[in-house]
Amino acid sequence: QMQYIAEQSGAVVVFPEYRLAPENPFPAPVEDAWGTVQWVHAHAAELGADPAKLMVAGDSAGGSLTNACVLQDEKGIIRIKNGRHPVVEGIYPSWDGSDYHEQTAYTWSYDAYEVADEDKKLAYSRIDRIKSSVDKDTDSSNSLYLQGHTTSHDPLVSAVFATDEQLKKFPETVIVAAEY
């Protein structure tokens, strides 16, 4: 996937690993992601890249880390100066990591989405796996990711809780979502 992006865009693509929970709970993954962005910006010339054209992307949890990087970017290094391209891409990103039992801005149910019969088993099994991880401990601050370090309402965890001022930091963003 990263090779395809590099070939199609002509860009230098850096695809880092980051520490994972439960062994390394929040903020370790955020620190790793933001540290990588800063390192790539500082070493862009060595990588054959233009530091004025830095794009950040991530999928799923990586989409949440992408959001956290933007929110920490006080110097505006995540920008493409010519303004012609999106500089943040979230591929089915996590914007709200709060417990679905507590969400009041929207409600969720299986009935809210039309799912083809032949897709229900796969789609519902994945949804149920995610829901069951929350149902084991409904205190989201005790999640394997957070382990009491913060709450799911921290904007570095759930960008949906960022203030209007924080959201103004977001450059042009593309969000890719799955059908279900």
Q: According to the model, what pLDDT value does residue 46 have?
A: 96
- Tens digit of each residue's pLDDT (9 = 90 or more) over 139-172: 566 688 888 899 889 999 999 999 999 998 788 8
- Tens digit of each residue's pLDDT (9 = 90 or more) over 106-141: 777 788 778 899 999 998 888 887 777 666 555 566
Could you tell me the two tokens for 141? 């601050």
Q: According to the model, what pLDDT value does residue 83 have?
A: 58
CB count in 10 Å sphere of residue 29 = 21
- Tens digit of each residue's pLDDT (9 = 90 or more) over 58-74: 888 999 999 999 999 98
Computed over every residue of the chain, the mean pLDDT equals 84
pLDDT, mean of residues 75-95:
76
Q: What percent of the chain has pLDDT over 70?
A: 89
At 44, is the pLDDT very low, low, confident or very high (cuts 50, 70, 90)?
A: very high
Which CA distances in Å does 100 have to 49, 94, 160?
Answer: 41, 13, 14
Residue 33, C-beta contacts closer than 8 angstroms, at least 6 positions apart = 16, 18, 58, 62, 65, 66, 68, 69
Residue 82 has pLDDT above 60, yes or no: no
Q: At what angle do helices 61-72 and 28-42 cross, to 10 degrees?
A: 60
Q: What is the rounded CA–CA span in Å between residue 104 and residue 102?
A: 6
Q: Whose structure tokens read 């799955």? A: 178
Q: According to the model, what pLDDT value does residue 137 have?
A: 57
Give the CA-trace dihedral at 37, 38, 41, 45, to 10 degrees. Answer: -110
Residue 85, C-beta contacts closer than 8 angstroms, at least 6 positions apart = 53, 55, 172
DSSP 105: S
Return the SS3 of 121. helix
pTM for the complete prediction?
0.83
Which CA distances in Å does 82 have to 53, 69, 127, 152, 172?
Answer: 8, 21, 40, 35, 12
